[in-house]
Each structure stands twice: as structure tokens, then as C-alpha cells.
Amino acid sequence: MTKINSEDVRKVAKLARLDLPEDLIETYTIQLEEILGYVAQLEKVDTTNVEPTTRAVEVTNVLREDVVKFTEVREELIDLAPNREGDFFRVPKILSE
């Protein structure tokens, strides 16, 4: 079974930009390991003659024509952002010193 340690949890939280309080690391480590353990049951299934797939429904080549459609939701979309400045989305400074 996959072993999860507190370092893995810190890393995942960092990659997901989650600010995880230090006193919850232990809790999440246990919970994540339980989840992975639950999913790991699938490994017991014999898949010897089964083609690997990435999806439950086999559809291929779902395509659309190259046609432009204008939506009237531009203003609403920009307004959805926590911060707008004119026609722009405003975001915090990118790189930390």
C-alpha cells in the first residue's frame, strides 16, 4: 500500500497553493492515506487482458467546426474576478523577491 508521509502532504498542499496549518498536517496525512488505501482495492482486480483506458465512455474525435461565436457574457466574466481594473483582471504581484 502507498505510504504517505507528512512531507508528501506539505508538498501537495504547496503545489495546490493551500495554506495548511501545521497542526492539521498529521490529520491530513492519515486521511489521505486512508483514501489511497480505499482506491488501492482496485489493484486487486485482474486486468491481464484488459486494454488500458483513461475514460469510462469510449468516444473518439469529438470535434467542432472552426466557427466564431460571440458570447454576451464578457462583462459578467470580468466582474466574477475578485479584482478588476478597467477591462483587465487584476491579480497580485507575480514573483516574490
Partner 1 sequence: MSRSNADWQAVIGLETHVQLGTKSKIFTSASTTFGDAPNTHIDPVVCGLPGTLPVLNKKVLEYAVKTSMALNLNIARHSKFDRKQYFYPDLPKNYQISQFDEPIAEEGWIDVEVAEKGKETYLKRIGIERLHMEEDAGKLVHAGSDRLAGSTYSLVDYNRAGVALAEIVSKPDLRTGREASEYASEIRRIVRYLGVSDGNMQEGSLRCDVNISVRRSSDAPFGTKVEIKNMNSFSAIQKACDYEIERQINLYETGESVAQETRLWDEGKQLTKSMRSKEGSSDYRYFPDPDLGPIEVSIELQQKWKSELPELPANKRKRYAKDFGLSVYDARVLTDESSMAEYFESVVSQGVDPKIASNWITGDLVAYVNANKKDFLKLPFKPEELAEMIQLITDGKISGKIAKEILPGLLETGGSPKTFVEKNGLSMISDSKLIESIIREILEAHPKEVEAFRGGKTKLQGFFVGQLMKKTSGKVDPKLANQILLDQLRL
Q: Give the interface with partner 1 as residue ranges (CB under 8 A).
A: 14-15, 17, 54-55, 59-71, 73-74, 77-78, 80, 85-95, 97
DSSP letter (8 states) at residue 7: H
Nearest approach in angstroms of CB 29 to partner 1 is 19
Query: Which amino acid is present at 48?
Result: T
Positive/negative CA dihedral, 23, 25, 28, 29: negative
Nearest approach in angstroms of CB 75 to partner 1 is 10
Nearest approach in angstroms of CB 34 to partner 1 is 21
Between 48 and 61, CB nearer to partner 1? 61
Q: How many CA atoms lie within 13 A of 97 on its CB side?
A: 0
- d(CA 27, CA 4) in angstroms, rounded, equals 12
Nearest approach in angstroms of CB 62 to partner 1 is 5
Between 19 and 23, CB nearer to partner 1? 19
Between 34 and 89, CB nearer to partner 1? 89
CB of 36 closer than 8 Å to CB of 9: no
